[in-house]
Amino acid sequence: YEDVRIARLNANKYAYHKNEFPVEATVVYNGNKQRQLRFSIVNGGKVVYSQNISLGPNNRVLNLPINLPANSVGLQRYTAQVSAIENEKNSSNNQSYFAVEVIDQATNVLVVSSMAHPDIGALKKAITSVEQRRLSIVKPVQAVDILNDYQLVILYQPNPSFRRVFEELERLKKNYWTFAGLQTDWLFLNSIQSNYAKENTGVREDIGAIVNRSYSKFAIDNFGVEGFPPLQTQLGDIVHLAVYDELLSQTIRDINTENPMFFSLEKDGIRTALWDGEAIWKWRAQSYLDQGSFTDFDNFLGSMVQYLSSNKRKSRLTVSHESFYYNNSDIILDAQYFNDTYVFDPGANLVMTVRNKDNTVNRQFPMLLTNSFYRVNLSGLAAGDYSFTASVSDTGISRSGNFTIVAFSSEQQFSGANVTKLRGLSQTTGGKLFTSNRIQDLLTDLIADTRYVPIQKSKQNIVPLIDWKLLLGLLAVLLAIEWFTRKYNGLI
């Protein structure tokens, strides 16, 4: 038999508008002929990529690295498919699905600093690692007139020369990110803003950090700081004057001081963040030594840039879900709900309503609290296209979306048995391997095998006559009639 299938398909969940994103497909062939096939990717009924591929006995596996253009903003659904072989028994495994969220993110970032420092170079490298981001560096006196040209302003170690910059940021209601360190004038910083305060000790302290995995503003992924060199800051506790979300906790000699190093907050529609630690360039270098690339560190800072550069108000209800699910895997949707002060509310009543495109399924599921989010498992749904609405009881707050459940059968992924593995299994267990052309040999072997001796079974059911009361009574009556008849006729 011959069979071709798409064994694996990898793609990023997100891409930037007018950029390219990578896709990797693995096509596997099983057969003894050289075949010329067509591989293509379809989006919205239109072929966006195609190429001829050659597979045969000497090249059964083909990896296809592909770059697709992100020309349309929003959720884009794709179908990867390979043409079927003539008379192929199973063509259901010739296609696979994936989706990519295309983000329109053209972000201009301004760094305001009165000094030269390696941290600024690290920030520039990390932020501009994404093509859609631009970064400029100016002194405080030059920044005042151009603040409104940028989506995010980074203030590096403020001092009194930043006074007009802070005043203009407040007037424009613009988001900003403050970096503090050994040269920061905390007396000035405490007086110019009302979100936090710190004593201006001027005493140097080496600090490490612990990542808060429950940080809710964006996904932290696999970023970690274990083994990273210490940063430097001025000794002292930060006093918070507004509700905040802590991303990095400060440690001194591996002891958690319960003092934040890196946190964000949102007040009066303005998003701000503070990183209290100098020499972050060392962390970027360490990330490269550990991972072989700057990607993890750059993505970590990039996520904060994306969050702070957005002026969209945070939704009190967010729902996390995939675009595609296979019906043989868990279909799980997660949600987070925040109260009026944007603090996670563990006491809410969330309900998930699910409908399929034919409106033949309209079901409600309660969402159960799990750690710091609500979760529902929809694994019982059949394959098809669905819409959903997550709602919070008695609030009128809801979020909607769509997903597709794809029919998947493990058996249909392969047209024949894996003879090599079956032979190895039979040898390991002391068994024998019979192919389809040896059915008679299998029957003969089973008949001759003494382990399968025919067994004859019989069942005997004995019912005492005395248990048949009605029959016994009838017999007694008949015997009595016969006796009286004989007596009457003189036969006795």
Exposure letters 375-384 (e unless 16+ CB within 10 A, then b): bbebeebeee
Between CA 12 and CA 25 the distance in angstroms is 13
Specify whether the CB–CB gap between 426 and 417 falls below 8 A: no
Model pLDDT, residue 415:
53
Residues 6+ apart with CB under 8 A from 219: 303
Is residue 383 a contact partner of residue 407, using CB atoms and an 8 Å limit?
yes
Kindly report the number of other CB atoms within 10 A of residue 236's CB atom: 17
pTM: 0.50
Asked if 5 and 413 touch (Cβ cutoff 8 Å), the reply is yes
Tokens read off for 356: 């399929």
- CA dist 190 and 194 (Å) reads 7
Tens-binned pLDDT, residue by residue, of the chain (492 aa): 678 888 888 887 778 777 888 899 999 988 888 989 999 999 988 999 999 999 998 888 999 999 999 888 888 889 999 998 887 777 778 888 888 888 776 788 999 999 999 999 999 999 988 777 889 999 999 999 999 889 899 999 999 999 999 999 998 889 999 999 999 999 999 999 999 999 877 789 999 998 887 787 776 666 788 889 999 999 888 988 888 888 899 998 888 888 899 999 888 878 999 999 999 999 999 999 988 889 888 888 888 888 888 665 557 788 888 888 877 788 899 998 887 756 678 889 999 999 988 767 788 999 999 877 899 998 888 888 899 999 998 888 999 988 888 776 555 555 556 667 777 888 888 788 787 788 888 888 888 887 777 777 788 777 665 556 777 788 888 999 988 888 888 777
**CA dist., res. 94 & res. 104, Å (int):** 32
